[in-house]
Amino acid sequence: MLSIKNLHASIEGTPILRGINLEVKAGEVHAIMGPNGSGKSTLASVLAGREEYEVTEGEVLFQGKELLPLSPEDRAREGVFLAFQYPIEIPGVSTTNFLRTALNQVREYRGQEPLDAVKFLSLMKEKMALVEIDQKLLSRSLNEGFSGGEKKRNEIFQMAMLNPVLSILDETDSGLDIDALRIVSNGVNKLKSDTTATIVVTHYQRLLDYIVPDFVHVLYKGRIVKSGTKELALELEEKGYDWIKEEVDSTATV
Amino acid sequence: MSTLTQQELVLGLFEAAPATFLSLRQLGKESFYAQGMPALKSEEYKFTPIAKKLESGLTDFFPAKPIKISTEQVKSAVFAGFEGVVLVFSNGQYLPELSNSTEGLTVNLLSKTENTPLGSIAKADNDPFTALNQATFTDGLHLSIDNKKVIESPILLLQFHQAQGGQVISPRIWIEAGDFSKATFIDYQVSLDDAPYFVNKVVEIKGGVHADITYHSLQEESNQVIEVSNVVTDIKQDSQFTSTQITLSGDMVRNNLTLNLLESNSVGNMYGLYLLHGKSHVDNHTNVDHTIPHAESNELYKGILADQSRGVFNGKIFVRQIAQKTNAFQQNNNILLSDDAIINTKPQLEIWADDVKCSHGCTVGQLDEEALFYLQARGIDKITARGLLLYAFAGEVLDKIEEDSLRNYIVNQIQKRLGSNF
Ligand SMILES: Nc1ncnc2c1ncn2[C@@H]1O[C@H](COP(=O)(O)OP(=O)(O)O)[C@@H](O)[C@H]1O
Ligand SMILES: [Mg+2]
């Protein structure tokens, strides 16, 4: 479904991603871990189409199609969804307010009929229940005065509404208490299917108890330096990242 | 630019002035000559070189004659869903045959009410254009609301403007609101074609005790229009006055709004939105004078500027020494959509009392790129996303407009624009 080949990206001339290779198949869950500043959010942003990052090399195929030339909105319409690490506030725009526009533009792109107000509302009700989010929150200015957990739940709510093919969750677990973590993971698990895939970016093993990955990758200094199964996450939890850093840094100097 | 040229410029206007309010006109003329057209260095007009604009932009410095207006034109100009009084003007002259009224509202030509103390609220000496209007207006309207009369439906002052020779339109309006009265006015200015003209408007509003008066002004004229508007109001005890000033176009527009809080427990609200593109230049100067204790003023002006447009905001809050317990709030926020757009914003606070709550702030920024990306990442195309964000920005002012038909109309006009140019 997703095939990242030798992806290099920089910001303001500084290389951040330095040759990423990753294959994600339908039905799989991949976890991307790694120390702070290793480029995890950068990878997520590049996949979603953020323009500040300049892709200097490599290609990304999504369902056989070149992803990188597409605008952010077309990537979303093709089925890429990014749950932001730091969801921003937008004063004066509520979730309900923009999501119907978003959903109908996505549907139009996919050749589906637009949803009328009634159908939209009933879809909302269904997905609200999934992440246990209150409708009042959705009619307030986006993320203004939301708690950390509310922001993250709202991201997953939007994901549920837009029904993506590939979901990228960037540190969705950070700032969540254990109940919120359970709710959010439940939501994500219910949305998983044989035809969709999930990339979970996280620092901690904790989330991976709930969303069980098929593969775990360690990103360090802009490269995937180690890949394995969920046992790798446990090992990292136990030993930290230093041994990986040492391994990489010593071979790099050779 | 010589003073002589400018004096010559207005000679035609003085000559054409009718034989009403003779002594008032004479005082206006003297005041105008004493002040002169604002020079380029004039503090009050330094960002808005209106005299220069008039010199280069106008061909015929005479009063514009009223033009014929049809019922169809009135019908199509009135906002969808509007229910209320419509007072139609053509180049500043009232057209009774196209207008209606309601119980508790008395409408008279100023020429029929010569005892009206014109100039007692909008003082000629405070602004050369007020003086010029006082000396040269043709006729105008005297509106009064009876004591205790609550007029729920709005009163639309529908001002059609068209002067193919580039002449001058000098609307003059006097509003008197009785004690315990309530009324909402909508001053709506429309151009009938693209020919340039100069509007020099003066509106004086005399509020009663415990009155609640709203004055909406919507400027949606051609991009050739030069305009100076002076709206001045006296606010009495336990009263509220609310102004909204929406400007969507114009070549060079200067709006002077003055609120005199004269008695305690009075509230003055000033809201404004300017949505500019092309080379429009719009200058809002507001002035609130807290002359007594226990009064409140709230101000929020917002601007979206595209292309090479230019905005000026100058908000003066004057709190006199005796005006203790004053609450005064002011905010001016701007979004510049192009590198060539310019905004000059300046709060001007003069506070002589010590027990007051005053706050002010101004911001100038670009469209929030992060917010734009967020919406795009949800599948919304860039133009729609931009529109959503700008609309949300403007919405804070639009929400202050309680009259649905007016707000919906403006929303519609803005959306038309946000979808294209903006
Ligand atoms: N907008 C930006 N401007 C400058 N540097 C950036 C920007 N975004 C990320 N970086 C840098 O890129 C590196 C990777 O950041 P990021 O992808 O956020 O890491 P992670 O998500 O793994 O913690 C960091 O060194 C960070 O400082
Ligand atoms: Mg990150």
pLDDT at B419: 63
Per-residue pLDDT tens over the stretch A127-160: 999 889 999 999 999 999 998 889 999 999 999 9
Q: What is the largest CA-CA distance in chain A?
A: 64
pLDDT at B4: 46
State both tokens at B128. Answer: 């050369």
In this structure, what DSSP letter does residue A15 have? E
Query: CB of B143 within 8 A of CB of B105?
Result: yes
pLDDT at B418: 74
- Residues from chain A that touch B392, judged by Cβ atoms under 8 A, are 90-93
- Of B280, B290, B278, B279, nearest to B255 (Cα)? B280
A75 — phi, psi (to 5°)?
-65, -45
Q: How many residues does chain B have?
A: 422
- Residues from chain A that touch B398, judged by Cβ atoms under 8 A, are none
pLDDT at A206: 86
Q: Whose CA is nearest to atom 5 of ligand 1?
A: A11
Stretch A189-205: mean pLDDT, rounded?
91
User: Among partner residues B374, B375, B396, which is closest to A92 by beta-carbon distance?
Assistant: B396
User: Among partner residues A84, A90, A106, which is closest to B379 by beta-carbon distance?
Assistant: A106
B283 — phi, psi (to 5°)?
-125, 115
pLDDT at B107: 98
Q: What is the largest CA-CA distance in chain B?
A: 67
Q: Is B384 on the interface with A (CB under 8 A)?
A: yes
Q: Whose CA is nearest to atom 25 of ligand 1?
A: A37
Atom of ligand 1 nearest to the CA of A52: 1
How many CA within 13 A on the CB side of residue A251?
Answer: 6
CA distance B86 to B96: 10
Q: What is the whole-number distance in angstroms between the Cα of residue A212 and the centre of ligand 1?
A: 27
Q: Which of B374, B382, B418 to mutate to test the interface with A (most CBs of A within 10 A)?
A: B374
Q: Is B399 on the interface with A (CB under 8 A)?
A: no
How many CA within 13 A on the CB side of residue A50?
Answer: 18
Stretch A232-241: mean pLDDT, rounded?
87
- Residues from chain A that touch B380, judged by Cβ atoms under 8 A, are 73, 98, 101-102, 105
pLDDT at A253: 52
Q: How confident is the model at residue A5 (pLDDT cuts 50, 70, 90)?
A: very high
| For residue B157, pLDDT beyond 50 | yes
Share of chain B above pLDDT 90, in %: 87
Q: Which residue has the higher pLDDT, A187 or B236?
A: B236
Per-residue pLDDT tens over the stretch B187-226: 999 999 999 999 999 999 999 999 999 999 999 999 999 9
Q: Is B392–A48 a contact, with Cβ atoms under 8 angstroms apart? A: no
Atom of ligand 1 nearest to the CA of A85: 21
Supply the Cα-derived Rg of chain A in whole angstroms: 18
Calculate the average pLDDT of chain A.
92
Calculate the average pLDDT of chain B.
94
Q: How confident is the model at residue B43 (pLDDT cuts 50, 70, 90)?
A: confident
Stretch B1-14: mean pLDDT, rounded?
67
Query: CB of B313 within 8 A of CB of B347?
Result: no
Q: What angle do CA B357, B358, B364 make, to 5 degrees?
A: 150
pLDDT at B414: 86
Model pTM greater than 0.90?
no
Q: How confident is the model at residue A252 (pLDDT cuts 50, 70, 90)?
A: low
Binding pocket residue ranges, ligand 1, CB within 6 Å: A 11, 16, 34, 36-42, 52
pLDDT at B6: 64
DSSP-derived 3-state class of residue A76: helix
Q: How confident is the model at residue B422 (pLDDT cuts 50, 70, 90)?
A: very low
Q: What is the whole-number distance in angstroms between the Cα of residue A35 and the centre of ligand 1?
A: 12
Stretch B308-332: mean pLDDT, rounded?
97
Q: How confident is the model at residue B421 (pLDDT cuts 50, 70, 90)?
A: very low
Among chain B residues, the shortest Cα distance to A49 is held by: B377
Stretch B405-410: mean pLDDT, rounded?
94
Q: How confident is the model at residue B7 (pLDDT cuts 50, 70, 90)?
A: low
Per-residue pLDDT tens over the stretch B125-136: 999 999 999 999
Q: Whose CA is nearest to atom 6 of ligand 1?
A: A11
CA distance B203 to B118: 10
- Residues from chain B that touch A50, judged by Cβ atoms under 8 A, are 373
Q: Is A98–B379 a contact, with Cβ atoms under 8 angstroms apart? A: no
Atom of ligand 1 nearest to the CA of A171: 21
| For residue B3, pLDDT beyond 60 | no
- Of B121, B371, B359, nearest to B235 (Cα)? B121
State both tokens at B168. Answer: 């001058």
Share of chain A above pLDDT 70, in %: 99
Structure-token match 């041994």, residue found: A243
In this structure, what DSSP letter does residue B43 have? S
- Residues from chain A that touch B371, judged by Cβ atoms under 8 A, are 88, 90, 93
What end-to-end distance do the CA atoms of chain B give, in Å? Answer: 37
State both tokens at A232. Answer: 């790798």
CA distance A116 to A120: 6
Strand partners, B229: B201, B255
How many CA within 13 A on the CB side of residue B175?
Answer: 29
Query: CB of B372 within 8 A of CB of B342?
Result: no
Tell me the shortest Cα–Cα distance from A234 to chain B, in angstroms: 33
Atom of ligand 1 nearest to the CA of A34: 22
Q: What is the whole-number distance in angstroms between the Cα of residue A85 and the centre of ligand 2?
A: 6
Query: CB of B246 within 8 A of CB of B273?
Result: yes
Lowest-confidence segment of A39-43, A185-189, B96-100, B330-334 by average pLDDT: A185-189
Q: What is the whole-number distance in angstroms between the Cα of residue A13 and the centre of ligand 1?
A: 13
Residues of A contacting chain B (CB within 8 angstroms)? 48-51, 71-73, 75-77, 82, 84, 87-88, 90-93, 97-99, 101-103, 105-106, 109, 158, 162
| For residue B392, pLDDT beyond 70 | yes
Ligand (nearest to CA of A16): 1
Q: What is the whole-number distance in angstroms between the Cα of residue A164 and the centre of ligand 1?
A: 26
